[in-house]
Amino acid sequence: MITDYEMPDMNGIEFICAVRSIPELLNVPIVMVTSHDQRSLRREALEAGATDFLPKPIDRDEVRARVTNLLALSQAHRALRDQVAQLAREVATAVALVEEREREIVSTLMCAAENRDEDTGDHIARVSAYTSLIAEALGLDTAECRLMELAATMHDVGKIAVPDAILRKPGPLAPEERREMERHAERGYRILGGSASPVMRLAAEIAASHHERWDGTGYPHRLRGEAIPLSGRIVAVADVFDALTTERPYKQAWSPKRARTHMAENAGAHFDPRVVEAFLSRWDQIEAFLEVGRQQLPVPHAA
């Protein structure tokens, strides 16, 4: 585009600003015709988005040369932009493939766990959903929330190594049975650890730390406070709340109100107070989950 400064109704600066406000014309070269004594005008035109200037009086050959050069530059810019866009598409495709493979791995592990314990599948979906809500309330970005949501599905994968007699026992566990059950945290870490996958590394961290307690009385390593990974502190709240509000062979389900009171009373002892606060800040959504039925909770995703 070639424009003069002095024009009826709209001057050259206003014209350039109007053109640059249109996304499709953002990179179109604009040449302003000016006289040599209009330095301040040139500076204003550059700030508005002018690409080049032509001095008055106009020289036909100079106009042709400048326009030719600017068109070549614009074409090169478009070619580079298209190349970058193509590279971005290829990267997105590769990332999607990796994420799909991760989902397949998670699905395989969870199928193995569900075959051991018929309650595990629903529990996994609920804990994953609660984990996502807490992560969002704590201000984690979208990618971190999705990663946390998927990794949380594997928090109890170590239970596939727990004997059926203990895993499905209808009554309270004996001390030795309790110790055997508690080993699932470290076993889960060993199953998931050592992977280069971010979701597997996070899942291993969660498996090992979601039974730690804020006051240091948890297991397996008796970590205290912020020494417990944030992921473990989040899943601890999600896991316990779901366990309280779900019927198990050895207990009746608590009411949501009773479970909420328990979570609040144990902030600073069992749970990270900040995580409990984040959890309770989403109480309306949690109640909505419970009202529509836990089987309708969202399926965890990684994309």
**pLDDT tens-place string over residues 189-205:** 998 888 888 888 999 99
pLDDT digits (tens, 9 = 90+) for 96-133: 776 677 667 676 666 666 555 555 557 788 888 999 99
**92 in any annotated domain:** no
**301 in any annotated domain:** no
Domain containing residue 28: 2-87
Does one domain contain both 43 and 74?
yes
Alpha helices (H) in the chain, listed in sequence order: 12-20, 39-48, 60-116, 120-137, 142-152, 164-167, 175-182, 184-192, 198-209, 230-244, 256-265, 273-281, 283-292
Q: What is the pLDDT of residue 185?
A: 93
pLDDT digits (tens, 9 = 90+) for 211-262: 999 999 999 999 999 999 999 999 999 999 998 998 876 678 899 999 999 9
**94 in any annotated domain:** no
Does one domain contain both 117 and 53?
no
**DSSP state letters, 192-253:** HTT-S-HHHHHHHHHHHHTT--TTS--SSS---GGGS-HHHHHHHHHHHHHHHTS-BTTBPP
Does one domain contain both 71 and 167?
no
Query: Measured between alpha carbons, how far is 293 from 125 in angstroms, rounded to an integer?
Result: 12
Does one domain contain both 128 and 255?
yes
Burial (CB count <10 Å: 0-12, 13-18, 19+), residue 43:
exposed
**233 in any annotated domain:** yes
**21 in any annotated domain:** yes
Task: Quote the radius of gyration of the chain (alpha carbons, Å).
Answer: 31
- pTM (two decimals): 0.64
For all residues of the chain together, what is the average pLDDT? 85
Does one domain contain both 292 and 198?
yes
* Type of residue found at 136: E
Does one domain contain both 136 and 158?
yes
Does one domain contain both 41 and 187?
no
**80 in any annotated domain:** yes
Q: What is the pLDDT of residue 118?
A: 53
Q: What is the pLDDT of residue 117?
A: 55
**pLDDT greater at residue 49 or residue 291:** 49
User: Structurally, how many domains does the chain consist of?
Assistant: 2
**303 in any annotated domain:** no
Per-residue confidence band for 303, with pLDDT thresholds at 50, 70 and 90: very low
Does one domain contain both 131 and 183?
yes
**Any idea which of 7-16, 68-77, 287-296 has the lowest mean pLDDT?**
287-296
Q: What is the pLDDT of residue 42?
A: 83
**93 in any annotated domain:** no
| Of 54, 87, 120, the domain-final residue | 87
